[in-house]
């Protein structure tokens, strides 16, 4: 009944409504998560919330997985779906869930190659951010935030067995990929594209996407990833390629840590030199993968238009 009810409202009005959906969903689902955790672990809601403030010091992993999973659903997925229903008479098409580009097997191979090689670009951008001559007060603040983040990751990625691995993969990779892509590339980017050129819509969406991750030294890395996800959405007219790449990007760290004892703290250290041969090869693979995806999506659009 409410499908497309706000489809013709102004962009400002739609964004305002979307913010209401986001904050309402975040509060409701986080509250549900806190209440469930308090009941399951026989502690007070205040103690549940306190564990989040001290995750970087160890402990609270099970509480984090429960509350964070529900928070992701309530903050990103539910508002994205409700927004698409409210702002479009064809919500499936707006989000881009109604089709998968062809040929699927070749697109999956290209996405896998892009995800594998994306780390080299992210590493370079991260090093650029850390090497920038920030004022001392800002640099100290960034360093403190970074240490808290690394401590939190060490705690969450201290995976104890296959069941824990699946749970962490779900919370850190599966849910964020589906939920964040639904909101950002499935709703916000198409909303902006109605009023702006596609490049500007992608860049604005990527900036918001990066800011909300609150990883300031990794802002450039996340922004570039967001832009790539945005162009995949624009080129393919589908949410699936960006969702798959997002999942691969997030899942890689979980898999590397669990199966290969990957030391991401050491990898992020500025003392580690850059292997330029390996980096340039990976950047070449990334470029070829993106070019291949662009060409495949272009052929797919021509095929659809010829039907």
Model pLDDT for residues 214-248, shown as the tens digit of each residue: 788 888 999 999 999 999 999 999 999 999 999 99
| Residue 152 in domain | yes
CA distance readout (Å), 222 to 166, 202, 213, 247: 24, 13, 8, 14
CB 287 within 8 A of CB 120: no
Q: Is pLDDT above 60 for 270? A: no
Distances 178 to 40, 227, 248 between C-alpha atoms, Å:
27, 17, 12
226 inside domain: yes
pTM assigned to the model = 0.94
Instruction: Say which residues have a Cβ less than 8 Å from residue 35's Cβ, sequence separation at least 6.
Output: 45
Q: Does 72 map to a domain? A: no
Supply the range of the domain harboring residue 118.
98-306
Q: Within 13 Å and on the Cβ side, how many CA atoms surround 12?
A: 0
Q: What angle separates helix 219-236 from helix 240-260, to the nearest 10 degrees?
A: 140
Asked, for residue 259, whether it belongs to a domain, the answer is: yes
Of residues 230 and 57, the one with the higher pLDDT is 230
Buried (b) or exposed (e) across 105-114, using 16+ Cβ within 10 A?
eebeebbebb
Interatomic CA distance for residues 100 and 111, integer angstroms: 13
134 domain residue, yes or no: yes
Q: In this structure, is residue 197 part of a structural domain? A: yes
- 54 belongs to a structural domain: no
Residue 3 lies in a domain: no
pLDDT for 145 equals 81
pLDDT confidence band for 67 (50 / 70 / 90): very high
Q: Say how many domains are in the chain.
A: 1
For residue 305, give both structure tokens.
């238009």
Residue 83: its H or E element: helix 78-87
SS3 category, 153? helix
């Amino acid at each position: 009944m409410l499908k497309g009810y706000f489809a013709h409202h102004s962009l400002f009005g739609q964004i305002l409504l979307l913010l209401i959906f986001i904050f309402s969903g975040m509060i409701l689902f986080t509250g549900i998560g806190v209440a469930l955790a308090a009941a399951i672990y026989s502690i007070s809601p205040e103690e549940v919330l306190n564990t989040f403030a001290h995750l970087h010091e160890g402990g609270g992993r099970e509480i984090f997985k429960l509350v964070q999973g529900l928070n992701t659903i309530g903050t990103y997925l539910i508002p994205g779906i409700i927004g698409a229903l409210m702002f479009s008479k064809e919500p499936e098409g707006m989000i881009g869930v109604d089709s998968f580009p062809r040929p699927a097997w070749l697109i999956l191979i290209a996405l896998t190659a892009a995800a594998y090689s994306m780390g080299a670009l992210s590493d370079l951008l991260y090093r650029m951010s850390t090497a920038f001559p920030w004022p001392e007060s800002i640099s100290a603040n960034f360093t403190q935030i970074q240490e808290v983040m690394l401590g939190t990751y060490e705690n969450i990625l201290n995976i104890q067995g296959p069941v824990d691995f699946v749970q962490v993969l779900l919370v850190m990779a599966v849910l964020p990929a589906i939920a964040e892509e639904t909101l950002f590339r499935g709703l916000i980017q198409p909303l902006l594209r109605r009023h702006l050129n596609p490049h500007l819509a992608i860049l604005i969406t990527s900036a918001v996407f990066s800011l909300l991750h609150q990883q300031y030294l990794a802002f450039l890395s996340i922004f570039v990833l967001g832009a790539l996800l945005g162009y995949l959405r624009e080129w393919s007219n589908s949410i699936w390629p960006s969702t798959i790449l997002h999942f691969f990007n997030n899942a890689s760290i979980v898999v590397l840590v669990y199966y290969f004892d990957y030391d991401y703290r050491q990898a992020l250290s500025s003392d580690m030199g850059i292997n330029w041969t390996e980096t340039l090869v990976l950047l070449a693979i990334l470029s070829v993968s993106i070019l291949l995806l662009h060409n495949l999506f272009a052929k797919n659009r021509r095929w659809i238009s010829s039907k």
